[in-house]
Structure 1
């Protein structure tokens, strides 16, 4: 299985580089009881349940491959992945948005791990993709995004390659094009309106052959 997450808007790009799991096996694996301690077999019924949980955005073979990767990260077979375990992947640890993403993935069991990744599926619609990015920007989890929320993420992404003045200028222009100002607070629907036509691309590529 090869996993590659790519997020791109007019002003930002996020890369979570390939993870390197074993070669995929037939649809059979160990699945945590109630997504807790690993002890049972991943049956066809289990796979279909996980597939339904992620709205059929991954195939059954992809789900098995994702489970193999999940088990690699869950080193102590706890049934969930901790922030420290995610940080054990060097490419993730070096990502400028790793700390923000960790808040979303810390403590995920397998079902929720797949649901989280489903927003990156090529089958996911634009609203599902942008919804995930909204939660990345919504750092204080109040359901709305301010100018400063977005500016902080842009600062994480651009670092020294853009000045504060350049970042603010770009963001003001993007908001203006959608009919908003720097004083506006964006709810999810507003965020979709602003970034819905921004060329957002987020995909997870999972070869299973």
Structure 2
């Protein structure tokens, strides 16, 4: 395939740069990472659709309990596959350069398991269960934790968290930005 510079025209790189939080060099690096997931497919079509299973092979997603949700949220086709542009968007949002507001928006979408634009008690339980893994909380502990979260965060007492309520809670979590990233 030759030098990685030949993968995109200068204009394409400039467009990707405008649409992401990456430099041209970082965009080329992201494409190199994407290509490594399935060289034969990507050499045939640089924007080939790769199955989510291949995307989840990158080291940061292998250990992430939300990797399925992350891939689903960033997949534009909804068919369990990601194009390079989907992958680039995902990597851009998880980059150090992405602003906290963008990270919060995507975190909300990832944690909204039933995709109803609200975070319900069931969504929070799913988040906690994924975070605790094999060290699951008892039903009583889980229910108490969810109750405490909603007592603090559900400002309008409607038993669900709107984006604004979620954003308010995240603003109190100083480590959020550091935990919501994938290093290149």
- TM-score (normalised: structure 2): 0.77
1:96 aligns with 2:65: yes
8 Å CA contact 1:101, 1:136 repeated in 2: yes
Higher helix share: 2
Distance change >3 Å, CA 63–CA 163, structure 1 → 2:
same
Distance change >3 Å, CA 129–CA 94, structure 1 → 2:
closer
Which residue does the alignment assign to 1:163? 138
SS of 1:175's partner is helix
Aligned alpha-carbon RMSD (Å) = 2.6
* Larger relative contact order (CA 8 Å, sep ≥ 6): 1
Q: What is the alpha-carbon distance in structure 2 between the residues aligned to residue 60 and residue 91 of structure 1?
A: 22
Which residue does the alignment assign to 1:59? 23
Distance change >3 Å, CA 93–CA 122, structure 1 → 2:
closer
Which residue does the alignment assign to 2:119? 145
1:182 Cα deviation from its structure 2 partner: 7.6
Which residue does the alignment assign to 1:37? none
1:71 aligns with 2:38: no
List gaps (5 residues or longer) in structure 2. Answer: none
Which residue does the alignment assign to 1:204? 182
SS of 2:161's partner is coil
1:121 Cα deviation from its structure 2 partner: 1.7
1:186 aligns with 2:165: no
List gaps (5 residues or longer) in structure 1. Answer: 1-24, 31-41
How is 1:23-34 mapped onto 2 (pairs within 5 angstroms)? Answer: 28-30=5-7
State how many pairs are aligned: 169
Higher strand share: 1
SS of 1:28's partner is helix
- TM-score (normalised: structure 1): 0.69
